[in-house]
Structures are given as C-alpha cells and as structure tokens.
Amino acid sequence: MPVIRSSEAVTHEIHGARFVSYATPLSGSKELCAWRGEIPAGLKAPAHTVSREEIFHLLDGELLITLDGRTDRITAGDTVIINPGATLTVENPTDRTAYSWVTTSIGLEARLADGTRIAPPWAN
C-alpha cells in the first residue's frame, strides 16, 4: 500500500503558485493525480485551458474562479468541477494564502492563451 508522507511530497512552483504533489505515477498512482495548491495573496494566475477534468476543492481561504468567462467567488469547502476543454483563471483577491486540493487523471495538460502547452510534472 503506497503511503505518501507529507515530508515526501514534491513541491513545484509555477506562475507564482506552489503545487505540492502527493499522488503521481512516481508515487504509485495508476490513474489519478492529486496535489495541494497554495495560491498566495494577490495572485492572479494566467488563464489556461485544461485537457482533462479537474476537481478543485478549496480547503482554506477565498478565491475568484473564472471558468469559461463566468466568475464565481468560492470559499473554504466549495468545490469546482472543471471539464476538459474549459478555460480557467484563479485569482486570490485577499491578503492571505488560499489552499486547495485538486484531483485529475494522469496526463493533464494546460494550454495558455499564447498557445504554450504545459504538462505539469505533478500531473504526469
């Protein structure tokens, strides 16, 4: 039984946010990956279109989530379902870090508005 201790999680930083990966193929997962996101105060991540469904659960804090042009304020305990092909922007308009938990299938890619493809290491 693979158990990933918090001390073994791998941290990645991109576009000002931190992604602490727990479930990946390298840690023994066969189909899913999961990570904790740390979105600092004042951060607005670039819009990106995802290739796979994501389940985005806000653990702590408050965020503005724009999904395909519709913006919603979410608070701790809220969950957003992001379908494949959807365009997502995450913004933290508060003065403290927000924490999320994201689960998706292995192989997720994101495409930025300029066409740049990102295959996040925490999702592959």
50-81 pLDDT per residue, tens: 999 999 999 999 999 999 999 999 999 999 99
Task: State percent of the chain over pLDDT 70.
Answer: 99
Q: In what order do the strands lie in the sheet with 32-39?
A: 10-14, 17-23, 32-39, 98-105, 54-60, 79-82
How far, in Å, are 28, 42, 54 from residue 51 at the CA level? 22, 27, 9
| Cβ-contact 102, 54 below 8 angstroms | yes
- The neighbour count for residue 114, using CB atoms within 10 Å, is 6
> Mean pLDDT in the chain?
94
Which residue, 85, 84, 47, 53, is CA-closest to 65?
47
Question: What architecture is the 10-118 domain classified under in CATH?
Answer: Sandwich (2.60)
What is the predicted pLDDT for the residue at 1? 61
Query: pTM to 2 decimals?
Result: 0.93
Q: pLDDT by residue (tens digit) across 87-108?
A: 999 999 999 999 999 999 999 9
118 backbone dihedrals φ, ψ, rounded to 5°: -125, 125
Domain boundaries, the chain: 10-118
pLDDT above 90 (res 121): no
Across the range 21-47, mean pLDDT stands at: 95
